[in-house]
Amino acid sequence: MTSKFPRTALFLALISLVAAAHAQDDSAPPSQATPLAPVHVQADGNKGYQADSSSLGGLGHAPLHDTPAAIVVITRAQIDDRQPRSLSELAHADAALGDNYAAVGYYQDISIRGFALDLASGYRMNDLSIAGEQYLTLEDKQQVEILKGLAGLEAGVVAPGGLVNYVSKRPADVHSVTVGTDSRGSRYGALDIGGWLSPDIGVRVNAAHEDMHSYVQHDPGRRNFISLAADWKIGSKATLRLDTDYQTSGQRSVSGYQLLGGTVIPPNPSRNRMLGYEPWQQPVGIHASNTTLRFDYAFNDQWTAQLSAGHSHVVIDDNVAFAYGCAYSPACANNASPGWFFAPNGDYDVYDYRSPNDTRQNDEVRAVLKGSFDTGMLGHELSLGASTFQRTLNQRPYVYDYVGTANIGEVNPPYFAPSPNQPGTPARALDSWQRSLFGLDRVHLDPHWQLLAGGRYVRLDESAFDDTGVLQRHTVQDRFLPQAAVMWQPTAPLTAYVSYSESLSLGGQAPWWATNGSAVLAPLLARQVEAGVKYAWTPALNLQVALYRIRQPYQFAQPDNSVAGFTFVQHGNEVHTGLELNAAGQVTGNLQLSASANLIRARAEDTGTPAYEGHQVVNVPRLRTSVFADYRLPFAQQLSLLGGWRYASPNTATPNGLVRVPAYHVFDAGLKYVSQWQGHALTLHLNIDNLFNHLYWRDTGSSGGDSYLFPGAPRLARLSLTYEL
């Protein structure tokens, strides 16, 4: 794929415009510059790893301390210190998060509290839905907010794990350039330029280019990105905010391993080897654009309104020489071994998979009215709103043809000729609508007690079509999703809460090897009970504890006497009960810390298949921890030591619990140097991920009903330099 930058002219024009505005600011008298200072949002940057508020959990901007939900915010300071480049790396920041089919060179997914997020509805930008099938960028993000647990009130039809919300940077007087490289020779450059063109209009442009040298052979990549944020203060009561971005990326997708014969973990896996590599395999090309527009209006001090709209458009040119199963291997002949796993001797089949112009689009419009009033002795904070969300998918009939059989022991598989077949004509594959009405009333019973009650009424209307455009499934469901919480604040630093919520998620699709292969099951209702405590240990250090229980119907391929031997069903329940601990902020004057632990018991119950019960479900380690610290040396205030530690207990890889990948510890280290050069700030970051080069399995997740194993990345050193112009 050729990754050209189609908006270069626009980019240069915006840079020139903002630079001119900056030059005007520099030449202006001090009395003119002074009124702009409060817009710079420097206070957020000084808080480091601590965040005070989030867009999630309260139908709008809400203090984290007063929100009865487990919300973790990854701040800009954490992003800068850790230098993540992918969603999988970002997930290291919290122990409740884990990988779920997060392949190198492909769009990635994660799980929260053991439930995989829905790529159609689990990712948001500025609290509006975006398509998750893209490389989710961080250059233009001020923070990343993670709502852990049910989000029915927030988003309607969404998986029970939660939401990830990317919050854009706002216009500010910023002029910085970042360059970087790593120990494999990658090249990285980013630009962050903003300013106020007038007291009422501000803009900010972020741009990045990256040449990626992957640790996997034959897998270089390239990425180009540009974004624009603009704020317009329309008088004293109204504000209009625009955020838009565009990105192209190209990199070969790396196939995951599978269990040998469905029961054995592959011995001595190679982290550097591309399974199924064929010279004709093209990169996966992803072109993505995301736009949000928000209008805020204050009627008075008590009542405000917000109207927002979002558009997310992703086009994927999917090209993979895919390593999968062993149906054509002699080692699996005559059903000697399941055809949807690698063969017992390490054989695997190679498929030529091509699905160009795979187009996914999310569109959402939302209106919210918020106000406060009193009824007798009770104070109310009321939020009422309505939203419409459409998700469409257009695809061409894809090529997915067997071309040969290879073995995991081969450094490079044999050459196989590609399939002569070509993809078909594009057609609509999915048209899904969600229409919702929602509301929440926060009732102040007295200075110490609050009651929150509300819910969302959602109507799901979804149509799925075959390759020729013929309707195959039409799903209509109406559901009211309640949410309620009680909060107790005996003192200002302490908040305790108990909450109940429900959410609706889409049913899973049966794997091809089940009797009802490719069938999509009915939507699922999930329920959650959560109790938590939030404590501000100091104004700069926040602590959180949450105890939760999530229950939803269990979806699995049930062994039976059918011709295929399995039928994909919803039977019994999947119950996740967990305890989360979080700490973030300034521990001492020199030490910043972000630390979390997640202890979870995930079980399948009443499934009718005893072998699948009584043990941890697949890809949910019982214990995860994550710690990252920034320690500024007392004797060298410009220099900080960075360090991280991640742990995961043994991770189940089969529904019967008989196969588990080992536990692992991963340690990271780094240095941060903050100085000045010619009167301008300069920051140097050196990070070493997986310091001891530990070999581990980071993911036993699934895709399309099939299970895969992905090894963790080897040791990598990253170096970056940021200079304030």
Return the amino acid letter for 363. D
- In a domain, residue 244? The reply is yes
The band of 61, judged by pLDDT with boundaries at 50, 70 and 90, is confident
User: Which tokens in the block code for residue 498?
Assistant: 């108990």
- In a domain, residue 2? The reply is no
Looking from the CA of 479 toward its CB, the CA atoms found within 13 Å total 23
**d(Cα 365, Cα 690) in Å, to the nearest integer?**
43
- In a domain, residue 455? The reply is yes
Q: Please answer whether residues 108 and 92 qualify as being in contact, where contact means their C-beta atoms are separated by less than 8 angstroms.
A: no
pLDDT digits (tens, 9 = 90+) for 186-207: 999 999 999 999 999 999 999 9
- In a domain, residue 482? The reply is yes
Helix (H) or strand (E) holding 538: strand 524-538
Number of domains, the chain: 1
Whose tokens are 């609290």? That residue is 127
- In a domain, residue 690? The reply is yes
pLDDT digits (tens, 9 = 90+) for 375-413: 999 999 999 999 999 999 999 999 999 999 999 999 989
Classify burial at 663, counting beta carbons within 10 Å of its beta carbon; exposed 0-12, middle 13-18, buried 19 or more: middle
Return the amino acid letter for 375. T
Phi, psi of 536 (to 5 degrees): -85, 95
Q: What is the dihedral of CA 243, 248, 254, 258, to 10 degrees?
A: 40
- In a domain, residue 87? The reply is yes
Determine the structural domain holding residue 637 and report its residue range: 8-724
| Mean local confidence (pLDDT), 468-472 | 85
Predicted model pTM = 0.92
Cβ density class 456-472: b for 16+ within 10 Å, e for less: bbbebebbbbeeeeeee
Helix, strand or coil, per DSSP, at residue 176: strand
**d(Cα 126, Cα 144) in Å, to the nearest integer?**
10
Strand-strand pairing, 427-444 and 399-407:
unpaired
Give the angle subtended at the CA of 324 by the CAs of 398 and 87, to the nearest 5°: 80
- In a domain, residue 1? The reply is no
Average pLDDT of the chain, as a whole number: 92
pLDDT digits (tens, 9 = 90+) for 344-387: 999 999 999 999 999 999 999 999 999 999 999 999 999 999 99
pLDDT digits (tens, 9 = 90+) for 476-527: 999 999 999 999 999 999 999 999 999 999 999 999 999 999 889 999 999 9
CATH number of domain containing 231 = 2.40.170.20
The band of 10, judged by pLDDT with boundaries at 50, 70 and 90, is very low
